[in-house]
Structure 1
Amino acid sequence: MRILGVILIVIGIAMFFSSGISFTTKEKVIDAGPIQISADKQNNIAWPSYAGGVVAVAGVFLVLFGKKK
């Protein structure tokens, strides 16, 4: 559980300093037999600024109170 806690702390800090993730996908616009036209579509995944803090606090909780093997 402690390893998961450390991972959550790192992810939480990264989420706190960035507002989201953006990526590009290809999308078919026209598919008429041998002719295919595609376009790039910009996708965004955004999260609120406090979400990183919540994830980091959950990680700290797991590190402090996680069971040792």
Structure 2
Amino acid sequence: MRATGSAWFTSSYSAQNGECVQARRRTHDGIDLRDSKDRDGPVVAVGVHGWGAFTVALRDGSFRAR
């Protein structure tokens, strides 16, 4: 198991219905993501560069429905 740098958190932008993605920052090397409904389930580990590219694409509209 990887050492983490912070506790799990849910974005303040998430709906308060319990169907959210939770995240935690890993020390130096990225972020972990999980389903808030399945806290013992799988975790997606994303590196620093991948997370940065993903958030840039979200901000610039790359994921808009066409």
TM-score clears 0.5: no
Which structure's CA Rg is the greater one?
A: 1
Choose between structure 1 and 2 for higher RCO, CA contacts under 8 A separated by at least 6 residues. 1
Please identify which structure carries the higher helix content. Answer: 1
Scaled by the length of structure 2, the TM-score of the pair is 0.30
Scaled by the length of structure 1, the TM-score of the pair is 0.29
Please identify which structure carries the higher strand content. Answer: 1
